[in-house]
Structures are given as C-alpha cells and as structure tokens.
C-alpha cells in the first residue's frame, strides 16, 4: 500500500509542466513549476514546515505553543496545516481589507483569526503591527515565525525547490524565474541553482541565470512602493529574507500585463493560477524573447524554469471576474453578447 502518514508529508516534489501556447514563436523550452499541488495550495507550505521544525529544534516553539503571524493568505494555510498535526495553536492577524473568504480558509483549518482595522497608522494600538506584537508578548508560549526575516524561508527553498528543479531538468536548467515577495523563493532557489551550476561549462549553459520578477512600482525594481494590485509580490521595504546579491536581473511587470497573462494561463494552458504566476510567466516570456533576439542559438538551447506559487481559486472574484477587471480598466468596457443573449 502506498500512502502518506499525514498530508503535511506531501509538501514539495512539485511537477514541472511545459508551457505550449503562450510561448508561441519562442524557441526556448519554458517549464512551469506548479506549486499549487502542495497540500496547502502554495509554495508557502515549504517555508511553513521548515520554519516550524527549526523553531522546535531551537526551543523557540515548545509543545502546546502558539504560532502568531500577521498573514492573510498562503503562509497562514501552510503554518495551520503543519501546526494542526503537531498540536500547536495558530493565531493569525489580518487587516480588515482581507476578504472574508481568505479569513474563512484559515478558520477552516482551525486557526483563530484576529481582524484589525486597515485605516489606522502603524503605531496605533489597534494596527496590524501593534496587535500582533501584543499577542506575541502576552500569549504564554507564543512564537512568531516572521517570514520576512526568517532565514528558514530561503533555507527551505535551498533544500527543496532548488534540488527538485536541478534533478527534474537533469541539470540542464539555464534560467530560473520567480516573483519576489519576501524574497525567500528567489534567494533560496536561486542560490542553490547558482551553486549547482557554478562549474558548468559554457556549452552546457554556464551558471544558471536567476531572474526576479517584480510588480511595477515595488522596491526590488527601483520603485518607491507605489500601489499595485498583484498580490503576494513586491514590497515597500527590503525584507531580510531577500538577498539582493542572488538575482542576476530583475524585470518589472505591470498589473495589466500580469492579469492578462494569468487569464491566458487558465484559458490556454489549463493552469488556473494566481496573479503573481501570470506576472512571473510574463517576465519569463520577455526574457525568452530577448534571448532569442540577442543569440538565437543559445535561446534554442535555453531551459527556463518559472515558478508558479499558488492557485487561481483564491482570485475568482478579482482577476477572473470581468466586472472587477473592467473596474480597473484591465478589460475592454464590454466583452459583447453572451451565448445566452444570442439564443434568447
Ligand atoms: N506569490 C504569492 C501569491 C505569494 O503569496 C508569495 C509570497 N509572499 C510570492 C509570490 C513570493 O514569494 P516569496 O515571498 O518567497 O518571495
């Protein structure tokens, strides 16, 4: 019989899938690493597992302890599913702008969710930051993973995501592309792939090029933190989980281009993924186009791996909703008559 002892054992070992349609006209092999097949539905399961196990080893998290983290999404799910198995209580702090659906997902896994008002300054006692700090100090046995500064985030990708990509491509990957949020994915995976390929000869592709993709306006691509709508990526500060020495290049992509590609991935590649995935793929395609213009022979040999962090299920009322898309000008005013209109 083949079975796992617990769902949390199934984190990682995600597949690579070739992109076939959105890559029309490009000679490089472009492979998507599909992270939504992780048990919690995103790449964040990897960091959750590693951060919790490291905290157990260091003694920061003891039996019966409480995990407190300001998170509204994927990291919360990953932490909750690992915590459930190990008997920890989870308390997540979410600003009230986070959708009811997202909070309900966390509660479904048994986590407690504390909702804070968005419209107060950071130093206000009711702010997201103040409330999570107070909970950590006042709850007995509380531990805060702090994914933005926790070295076990990048370490989890160095130990799993990087080796998986290297093994699944038989060491032939030439470029790694990923969106940058906390920076953990690009830092850990990129560092591993650099190390693995450091002695590879030019004929075999040389050292892997690591390319970070950033929403237009975010700090990684030289912006000032100006608002953008794509979720989970971009920052208005420099997190410690990010090592700016790892990416060889950063490409900035607009919300409009990110969302258009997100929709194409669902419609043309049957990959229902989130907005940061569309952003990363758009960046990977721009990279492939440039390689082809610069050096067609090298482009034909290129193996570009692009990481898709999560599923599109969490964005049905936004990116996959025509009304929402139109309200921001991402879709033409009226898509025209529906089948029902025609047959009425
Ligand atoms: N996409 C989504 C949807 C995310 O939640 C995150 C994590 N914030 C990222 C991309 C970026 O990953 P990382 O934090 O490792 O840079």
* pLDDT beyond 90 at 121: no
Pocket test for ligand 1, best of 38, 210, 233 (most atoms within 8 A of CB): 233
* pLDDT beyond 80 at 2: yes
Q: What does the pLDDT read at residue 336?
A: 67
* pLDDT beyond 70 at 335: no
**Centre of ligand 1 from the C-alpha of residue 234, in Å:** 9
90, exposed or middle or buried, with CB in 10 Å at 0-12, 13-18, 19+? buried
Contact 247, 211 (CB under 8 A): yes
pLDDT digits (tens, 9 = 90+) for 173-232: 999 999 999 999 999 999 999 999 999 999 899 999 999 999 999 999 998 887 889 998
Active site residue 86: no
Strands 112-116, 142-143: pairing is unpaired
186, exposed or middle or buried, with CB in 10 Å at 0-12, 13-18, 19+? buried
**Centre of ligand 1 from the C-alpha of residue 295, in Å:** 32
Q: What does the pLDDT read at residue 334?
A: 64
pLDDT digits (tens, 9 = 90+) for 275-333: 999 999 999 999 999 999 999 999 999 999 999 999 999 999 999 999 999 999 999 76
pLDDT digits (tens, 9 = 90+) for 34-93: 999 999 999 999 999 999 999 999 999 999 999 999 887 899 999 999 999 999 999 999
**Centre of ligand 1 from the C-alpha of residue 182, in Å:** 7
Q: What does the pLDDT read at residue 97?
A: 77
* pLDDT beyond 90 at 340: no
Contact 232, 74 (CB under 8 A): yes
CA separation, residue 343 to residues 334, 336, 337, 338 (Å)? 19, 14, 10, 9
* pLDDT beyond 80 at 337: no
User: How far is it, in rounded angstroms, from Cα 111 to Cα 46?
Assistant: 19
Q: What does the pLDDT read at residue 333?
A: 64
> Out of 44, 102, 144, 318, which one is annotated catalytic?
44
CB count within 10 Å of CB 1 equals: 2
Phi and psi at residue 70, to the nearest 5°: -75, 105
Contact 319, 312 (CB under 8 A): yes
The average confidence (pLDDT) of the chain is 94
């Amino acid at each position: 019989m083949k079975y796992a002892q617990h769902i949390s054992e199934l984190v990682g070992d995600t597949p690579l899938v070739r992109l076939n349609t959105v890559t029309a006209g490009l000679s490089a092999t472009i492979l998507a690493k599909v992270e939504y097949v992780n048990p919690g539905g995103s790449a964040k399961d990897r960091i959750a597992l590693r951060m919790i196990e490291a905290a157990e080893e260091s003694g920061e998290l003891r039996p019966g302890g409480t995990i407190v983290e300001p998170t509204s999404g994927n990291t919360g799910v990953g932490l909750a599913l690992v915590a459930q198995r190990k008997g920890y209580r989870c308390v997540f702090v979410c600003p009230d702008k986070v959708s009811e659906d997202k909070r309900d997902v966390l509660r479904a896994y048994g986590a407690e969710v504390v909702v804070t008002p968005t419209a107060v300054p950071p130093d206000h006692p009711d702010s997201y930051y103040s409330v999570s700090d107070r909970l950590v100090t006042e709850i007995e046995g509380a531990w805060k993973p702090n994914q933005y500064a926790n070295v076990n985030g990048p370490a989890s990708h160095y130990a799993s995501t990087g080796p998986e990509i290297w093994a699944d491509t038989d060491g032939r990957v030439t470029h790694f592309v990923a969106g940058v949020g906390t920076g953990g994915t690009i830092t850990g995976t990129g560092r591993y792939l650099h190390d693995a390929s450091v002695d590879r000869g030019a004929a075999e592709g040389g050292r892997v090029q690591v390319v970070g993709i950033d929403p237009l306006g975010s700090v990684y691509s030289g912006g000032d933190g100006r608002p953008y709508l794509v979720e989970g990526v971009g920052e208005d500060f420099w997190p410690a989980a990010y090592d700016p020495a790892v990416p060889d290049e950063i490409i900035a992509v607009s919300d409009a281009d990110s969302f258009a590609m997100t929709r194409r991935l669902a419609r043309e590649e049957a990959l229902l993924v989130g907005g940061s995935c569309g952003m990363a793929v758009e960046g990977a395609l721009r990279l492939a186009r440039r390689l082809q213009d610069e050096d067609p022979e090298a482009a034909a040999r290129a193996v570009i791996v692009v990481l898709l962090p999560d599923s599109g299920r969490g964005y049905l009322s936004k990116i996959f909703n025509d009304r929402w898309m139109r309200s921001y000008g991402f879709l033409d005013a009226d898509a025209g008559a529906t089948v029902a209109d025609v047959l009425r």
